[in-house]
Amino acid sequence: MSKCRIPLGPFHPLLEEAEFFNIKVEGEKVVDIEMETGWMHRGHEKISETRTFTQSIFLVERICGICSTSHPFACVNAIEDIDNVEIPERAKYIRVLIGELERIHSHLLWVGLAGHFIGYDTLWMWAWKYREPILQLSEKITGNRNHYAMMRVGGVGRDFDNSLIPEINPVLDMLEKKMVMLAGAVNDDPVLKSRLKGVGILTKEDAINYCANGPTARASGYDIDVRRDDPTAYEVVDVKVIVTQNGDVFDKAVVRVLEIIESCHIIKQCLKAFEKVQGPIINKVKEISPGEGIGRYEAPRGEVFHYIRSDGTNRPVRHKVRAPSFSNIPTYKASCIGIPLADALITLASVDPCYCCTERSLKVFDTKGRRLEESLLKLSREKTKKIRKNFYADGVSPLERIFEL
Amino acid sequence: MIFKYLFYLLIFPGFLFVSVFGMIVGWVDRKVSARVQFRVGPPFFQNFYDIFKLWGKEVILVKNSPYFIFVIAPIIAFASVLITSTLVGTAFFFNLGIGGDLIFIIYLMIIYSVALILGASSTGNIYSSIGAGREMKLLLSDELAFILVILVPIIHAGYKIDLIQILDYQQVNGMIIGSASGIIAFIVGIICLQAKMAMVPFDIPEAETEIIEGTLIEYSGPLLAFWKLSHFMMYVFMPLLLVILFWGGISFASIGSIIAGVLKYLLIVVIMILIKNTNPRVRIDTAIIFFWKYASPLALIAVILAILGA
């Protein structure tokens, strides 16, 4: 059978964001897969060096639209790590509440998208219907459906209104019931099972070798969760880590659905605590001393890692971000080779890749120091030149002529 | 005489009726799907807007590809669908046969798929080539089951291959769906229609999130309108064919019987829409295994039962 190359992206209905996969197939069987990044790079790390610490928190919130509180969470953890800042207990509960609400809506978003990718549009719409009340709760608690802007160095920016507790509880009960129903429906549907079970298996060994984290690793039986292993706010609640053993797409879905239920339990613990725990929500931090700090947080997709170095001024000298998808996406190499194209695509989607989180600056040099990939900037300059040549007789625009004079 | 045939072909129950009614049924499909999924759904005239807008758009041809096949494929497909719907429609509404029988109809339905395969593979686009390959596999898998299903009423009617004679037989001896072989064949038939119309779970050739509408990816403007219109027309004649073959067609004797005939048709359409909305897309190998391992043997059992007289 002849080999052929299927370009998946940079713009493709399977990918919500710009990303390029180069899939080589024999007939319908995938034999090789390559990934190209660099379509979404926005330079957050560099911008962060020109902002104050407080501004940086809001900046990193814009890295991702879905897990928008996980980057600020890790960022404040890193800044607090420099000076070992303690945060008040009520602030810890509020941070956990926001983080878990976000986890629920992010996982529901994935369940819906996964349904869409396998052509099950009804599942898509139903999952997103149950996501809506969660977004409305977020709006009531923080003022925004997304981009909550709650995290501050030393605490949170806005207190939780205890009168909202009776409104939140019924929503969580409803969601828990619906998730149990969804898990049952997925378990009973033979067509869905034939589509997901045993597809795109990532073994525990591969998960460890590729440094997978988050639900992707936990579905393969790799018991890893920052919320339990290295808690910065989560020590106030009980976290049960969901682990399954098979590592296929079905298990990745099951892990996420069970995590939604677990998140509901964690939020309920927080709501109980809010009635007892009163007091300040922020320890004012006047200045950051020189030093370096790291912050970790379990985002819906896995571990977010922030590194910040300070020289005693009000700006970070270096701000490094590592998103979970950065190590989850290469697991394709282990799980996608040798399976049919239709399965490969849902396997690509099953790690819940977030490309705008992943895309940091990436340069590849060969041994002689030459840059291997063509710079996008260079290409765009060449294109502009070509267009100009067609438009203006001497290839110089009137605007340029004015500036030259 | 010639005007009568032209009337049948172009106005009722041919082009005008089937295309307008098909777009309305297409709207029903979209609206019911939307309500199942908690959406609002499109307005009533949305399909009409879509088709008319496509007619006014420009056709983009693929450089260095055989234009002729690319352009002629949708027209051949449309013509075959039009003739099929006229044959089925005249039998259904007027109880008239105008020289076509079931073998002819089976051929015309294959021509539609073959035209789709040719048109898709003429472009050289990788997605549409994969789509064409999948359409071919789907055709090979569902065709046997479909022919076996059609054999059941033929055997019941005493080895007659004319739609009219099958209808006549049912008027005298009761509906074929009432027999054991009839109900089995009817159920397999609905699944075959799902595959023939490329609806979920068998929308494998045009899987949007995998190969971006696959077979139709390079089509635009009026040529795409031909494909879309052919698909809407299938909403009409495919369920009608099942009603004729298994459920005794329609009788215009009283208002009650007319309503009964319409309800039979609508029931099949709603079953198809519900199957579409409660299933994910299957893989092509699963589809082949399903049709060759389960659907075709089931249809064969129905045929044997029919021969035995059950």
Identify all chain B residues contacting A129, using CB atoms and an 8 Å cutoff.
Answer: 38
Map residue A25 onto helix, strand or coil: strand
**Which of B85, B101, B75 has the alpha carbon at shortest distance from B25?**
B85
Residue A395, pLDDT > 70, answer no
Q: What CA–CA distance (Å, rounded) separates B284 from B177?
A: 30
Mind telling me how many Å the CA of A129 is from chain B's nearest CA? 8
H helix intervals, B157-254: 163-173, 180-196, 208-211, 221-247
What average pLDDT does this structure show over A321-332?
Answer: 86
**Do A319 and A381 belong to one domain?**
no
**Under an 8 A CB cutoff, do A195 and B278 touch?**
no
User: Is A126 part of the contact surface with chain B (CB cutoff 8 Å)?
Assistant: yes
Confirm whether A19 is domain-assigned.
no
Long-range contacts formed by A367-373: CB under 8 A, 24+ apart: A373/A36, A373/A38
**Interface contact A345-B209, CB threshold 8 A:** yes
The answer to whether the CB atoms of B284 and A342 lie below 8 A apart is: yes
Do residues A191 and A260 share a domain?
yes
Strand order in the sheet with A302-310: A291-299, A302-310, A316-322
Instruction: State the burial class of residue A58 (Cβ atoms within 10 Å of its Cβ: 0-12, 13-18, 19+).
Output: middle
Query: Within 10 A of A398 (CB to CB), how many other CB atoms are there?
Result: 7
Nearest Cα of chain B lies from the Cα of A240 at a distance, in angstroms, of 32
Average pLDDT over residues A30-57: 82
Whether residues A315 and A173 fall in one domain: yes
Q: Which residue of A has its CA nearest to B206?
A: A119
Of B127, B133, B281, the CB nearest to A119: B281
Is A206 in the same domain as A83? yes
Q: What is the pLDDT of residue B296?
A: 92
Cα dist. A33→A362, B125, B214 in Å?
19, 20, 21
* B181 in Cβ contact with B310 (< 8 Å): yes
Could you tell me how many CB contacts below 8 A there are between chain A and chain B?
77
Which positions in chain B touch A28 (Cβ < 8 Å)?
130, 133, 284-285
CB-CB under 8 Å, A195 with B283: yes
| C-alpha radius of gyration, chain A, whole number | 23
Residue A120 has pLDDT above 90, yes or no: no
Contacts of A253 in chain B (CB under 8 A): none
The answer to whether the CB atoms of B210 and A345 lie below 8 A apart is yes
Interatomic CA distance for residues B232 and B150, integer angstroms? 22
Q: Mean pLDDT across the stretch A330-340?
A: 85
Per-residue pLDDT band at B278 (split at 50, 70, 90): confident
A219-263, pLDDT tens digit by residue? 998 888 888 888 888 888 888 888 998 888 888 888 998 999 999
Same domain, A395 and A332: no
Q: Please report the pLDDT score of residue A377 as a whole number.
A: 61
pLDDT at residue B24 in the model: 92
Sequence-distant (≥ 6) Cβ neighbours of residue A84 within 8 angstroms:
none
- Residue A365: predicted pLDDT: 62
Q: What was the pLDDT predicted at A394?
A: 66
Helix/strand/coil for B174: coil
What is the number of other CB atoms lying within 10 angstroms of the CB of residue A42? 13
pLDDT tens-place string over residues A254-305: 899 899 999 999 999 999 988 888 888 888 888 888 888 888 898 898 888 8
Cβ <8 Å between A122 and B284:
no
Of B204, B278, B283, Cβ closest to residue A343: B283
**Positive or negative, the Cα torsion across A372, A376, A377, A379?**
positive
Please report the pLDDT score of residue B75 as a whole number. 92
CA-based Rg of chain B, rounded to a whole angstrom?
A: 19
Contact B203/A at CB under 8 A: yes
Query: What percent of chain A has pLDDT above 70?
Result: 91
Q: How far is CA A88 from the centre of its chain?
A: 27
Q: Is the pLDDT of residue B76 over 90?
A: yes
Is residue B201 less than 8 Å (CB to CB) from chain A? yes
B32 touches chain A (CB under 8 A): no
The domain ranges of chain B are 2-38+61-307
Per-residue pLDDT at A263: 92
- What residues contact A172, with CB distance under 8 A and at least 6 apart? A264, A267, A268
| Residue matched to tokens 């807008």 | B53
- Residue A15 placed within a domain: no
Pair (A246, A377) in one structural domain: no
What pLDDT sits at residue A382?
78
How many whole angstroms separate alpha carbon A5 and alpha carbon A112?
29
- Shortest Cα distance, chain B CAs vs residue A337, angstroms: 17
Bridge partners (DSSP) of residue A318 are: A309
Pairwise CA distance, residues B222 & B22, whole Å: 18
Interchain CB distance below 8 Å, A123 and B280: yes
Residue A396 pLDDT level (bands cut at 50, 70, 90)? low
A125 contacts on B by Cβ (under 8 Å): 37-39
Distance separating alpha carbons of residues A169 and A178, to the nearest angstrom: 14
More confident: A17 or B262: B262
Contact criterion met (CB < 8 Å) for B209 and A14: yes
Amino acid at A318: R
Among A392, A301, A388, A389, residue whose Cα is nearest residue A67: A301
User: Where does chain B show beta strands of DSSP type E?
Assistant: none
- Per-residue pLDDT band at B91 (split at 50, 70, 90): confident
**Contact flag A119-B286 (C-beta cutoff 8 Å):** no
Say yes or no: A28 contacts chain B, CB-CB below 8 A. yes
Instruction: Flag whether pLDDT at B43 surpasses 90.
Output: yes
In chain A, the residue whose alpha carbon lies closest to the alpha carbon of B201 is A119
Contact B130 A341 (CB under 8 A): yes
| Contact between chains at B277 and A124 (C-beta distance less than 8 A) | no
Phi, psi (rounded to 5 degrees) for A374? -75, 135
Q: Is the Cβ of B210 closer than 8 Å to some Cβ of chain A?
A: yes
The verdict on a CB contact (< 8 Å) between A194 and B39 is no
CB within 8 Å: A125 and B286: no
Distance between CA atoms of residues A113 and A349, nearest Å = 8
**B281 CB within 8 Å of a chain A CB:** yes
pLDDT, one tens digit per residue, over B152-188 is: 988 888 888 888 888 888 888 878 887 888 888 999 9
Mean pLDDT taken over chain A: 84
- Nearest one of A202, A205, A184 to A351, comparing CA atoms: A202
List chain A residues with CB under 8 Å of B126.
4-7
- Count of CA atoms in the C-beta half-sphere (13 A) of B38: 10
Q: Which residues of A touch B39 (CB under 8 A)?
A: 125
Whether A1 maps to a domain, the answer reads no
Residues in B touching A116 (Cβ below 8 Å) = 209
A399 lies in the same domain as A288? no
Range B58-72 average pLDDT: 85
- Determine the structural domain holding residue A213 and report its residue range: 44-336
**Taking CA atoms, what residue in B is nearest to A13?**
B209
Give yes or no for B127 touching A (CB within 8 A). yes
B38 inside 8 A of chain A by CB: yes
What token pair was written down for B166?
């099958």
Tell whether A114 is within 8 A of chain B (Cβ): no
* Residue B111: predicted pLDDT: 92
How large is the average pLDDT for residues B6-10?
81
A5 near B CB under 8 A: yes
Select from B39, B127, B130 the Cβ nearest to the Cβ of A125: B39
How far apart CA A329 and CA A403 sit, in angstroms, is 46
pLDDT band, residue B114 (cuts 50/70/90):
very high
Residue A2 lies in a domain: no
Of A317, A336, A355, the residue that ends a domain is A336
B64: left (phi over 0), alpha (psi -120 to 50) or beta: left
pLDDT in tens, A345-378: 888 888 888 887 777 655 556 677 666 555 656 7
CB-based contact B207 A340, cutoff 8 Å:
no
Mind listing the pLDDT tens digit for each residue in A44-53?
888 888 888 8
Q: Is residue A254 part of a domain?
A: yes
Find the closest chain B residue to A130 by CA distance.
B38
Residue A271 lies in a domain: yes
CA A37/CA A21 separation, integer angstroms: 9
Q: Which of B279, B286, B289, B294 to mutate to test the interface with A (most CBs of A within 10 A)?
A: B279
Question: How many angstroms away from the CA of B189 is the closest CA of chain A?
Answer: 19
Residue A383 lies in a domain: yes
B283: which DSSP letter?
P
DSSP summary character for residue A396: -
Contact status of B277 with chain A (Cβ, < 8 Å): yes
CB A230: neighbour CB atoms within 10 A?
16
Residue from A91, A107, A176, A101 nearest A146 by CA? A101
Distance from CA of B126 to the nearest CA of A (A): 7
Integer CA distances (angstroms), A106 to A288, A329, A354, in order:
33, 17, 11
Sheet of A29-36: strands edge to edge? A3-8, A20-26, A29-36
Q: With 0.80 as the threshold, say if the pTM is over it.
A: yes
Decide if pLDDT at A320 tops 60: yes
pLDDT single digits (tens) A75-94: 999 988 888 888 898 899 99
Q: What is the token pair recorded at A312?
A: 């005693």
Residues A330 and A387 in one domain: no
Closest-CA distance, B213 to chain A, in angstroms, reads 10
Q: Does A42 touch chain B (CB under 8 A)?
A: no
Q: Residue B278: how many CA atoms within 13 Å on its side-chain side? A: 10
Q: How many domains does chain A have?
A: 2
Instruction: Report residue A221: phi and psi, to 5°.
Output: 85, 15
Top-confidence range, A18-22, B43-47, B252-256: B43-47
Per-residue burial over A86-113, b = 16 or more CB atoms within 10 Å of its CB, e = otherwise:
ebbbbbbbbbbbbbbbbbbbbbbbbbbb
Return the percentage of chain B with pLDDT > 70, whole number.
99
A10 preceded by a cis bond (ω within 30 of 0) = yes
